[in-house]
Amino acid sequence: MPRLPGPDDPLRIAYLTYRGKPHVGGQGVYTRHLTKALVDLGHSAEVLSGQPYPILDERVPLVSLPSLDIYNDYFPMRMPAWWELKDRWDYAEVTAFSSGTFPEPLAFSLRAWDHLKSRRNDFDLVQDNQCLGYGLLLMERMGLPVLGTIHHPITMDRRLEMQHAESAYQRWSKSRWYAFTKMQTRVAKRLRRVITVSRSSYDDICRDHMVSPERLFVVPVGVDPELFIPLPGIKRKTDQIISTASSDVAMKGQRYLLEALAKLRSERPTLKLIMVGRLKEGSAAQRTIEQLGLEDAVEFVSGITDERLVELYNESACAVVPSLYEGFSLPAIEAMSTGCPLVATTGGAIPEVAGPDGETCFMTIPADSESLAAGIRRALDDPEAAKQIGAAGRERVISRWSWRHTAVRTVDHYRALLEDTARDRYDRR
């Protein structure tokens, strides 16, 4: 019989993330900071992850559950050779890939379930980070309570990708690739308790994944206010702006940012964009850069430390979040926490996070390069006003969000989940 921890007992958490890209992308950042904060509170967390693996606090063990790494950064969409298929989960992954869908959430959830079968008594519960594969239901069936975490429903990505498809073939291809979201909806509907990061995501999850509002709760993500700080010794460069490129998908709005940069370069020929992330060969971003003649105006930096990221925010005249939709936007609050003036769209939860236009940020219209250029121009034309907005943005962030607060709220939901599970078991007697 699984143990029921007391109300003040430290908890043992199996934390699942099918991808944990360490420096860019919300999943890896969320994983690193949340698990560290959980350990700081006295709990134990063990991370189970597929590639790319997260960078974790030294007190947080990592269990590597390698995928076939079909979507690696260097040879994406490669078909694995037959000798790479070692077990039934590899066959499940390559079969799903061959059907045209993204296979990692399903395959990872089954690998994690297989790993946890022999370790049921090592953990009190599982927290899933956006995987929502069928393996989670198998974990619940063997007696491990599962707390789902959905930063935003991937159905939003699918909707925007379909809207931006340039041909009937692209629409058909993207429809097949996002077929895994049907599985995610089925799993999300059946989990006992789910958390998300914003009210905007809450509404979208209820609508798209049909999760009951009584089982869905908002726990905002955090920022490290002692790391993401203003650095008085660094002077802002009036001809440098910064953004992040966690993935080359329509939802992130990179095309509109590059078009805005091209417009602004006609007025400010030395203006430069720092993109935190890796430029993929043959990507839409690379094609747009070449079409607009921006090869010398955009610099991609990847694999940098948090400390270097803080320096870049402090060097830049403004940070830009051009997304068409965000479930929260970690880059927004990290930039704001450093005092860097933020230019952002009103996509998804961004207004909920960044605050009022002209007070804590410069707001623009999503999917509109003219509006984005105008927002950046506002920040560049009046450095003193931008400085005041940057300072107000920092105050907004540090007064609302920290990883410790995120961890405390998450633990509250761990305990509520355990109580709900125990009550259900008692009622079935």
Residue 23's pLDDT band, with cuts at 50, 70 and 90, is: low
pLDDT digits (tens, 9 = 90+) for 43-67: 999 999 999 999 999 999 999 999 9
For residue 68, the Cα-to-chain-centroid distance in whole angstroms is 22
Where does 12-222+403-427 sit in CATH, by number? 3.40.50.2000
Of the chain, the end-to-end C-alpha distance in Å amounts to 14
Entry pTM: 0.93
Residue 429's pLDDT band, with cuts at 50, 70 and 90, is: low
Q: Mean pLDDT throughout 252-260?
A: 96
Residue 414's pLDDT band, with cuts at 50, 70 and 90, is: very high
Predicted local distance difference test score (pLDDT) of residue 96: 94
Distance (Å, whole) CA 27 – CA 31: 6
Mean pLDDT of the chain: 94
Residue 4: pLDDT above 90? no
Residue 208's pLDDT band, with cuts at 50, 70 and 90, is: very high
The mean-pLDDT minimum among 128-132, 148-152, 244-248, 310-314 falls in: 244-248
Q: Which fold has domain 237-400?
A: Rossmann fold (3.40.50)
SS3 content of the chain, % helix, strand, coil (to 5): 45, 15, 40
- Show the CA angle centred on residue 309, arms to residues 333 and 60, nearest 5°: 80
Radius of gyration of the chain from its Cα atoms, rounded to whole angstroms: 22
Among 175, 157, 184, smallest CA distance to 249 is for 157
Residue 5's pLDDT band, with cuts at 50, 70 and 90, is: confident
Q: Is 250 exposed, middle or buried (0-12, 13-18, 19+ CB in 10 A)?
A: buried
The mean-pLDDT minimum among 2-6, 125-129, 193-197, 349-353 falls in: 2-6
Fold: same for 12-222+403-427 and 237-400: yes
Structural domain boundaries in the chain? 12-222+403-427, 237-400
Residue 2's pLDDT band, with cuts at 50, 70 and 90, is: low
Residue 1: pLDDT above 60? no
Predicted local distance difference test score (pLDDT) of residue 65: 98
- What is the sign of the dihedral through the CA atoms of 379, 381, 385 and 386? positive
Predicted local distance difference test score (pLDDT) of residue 427: 65
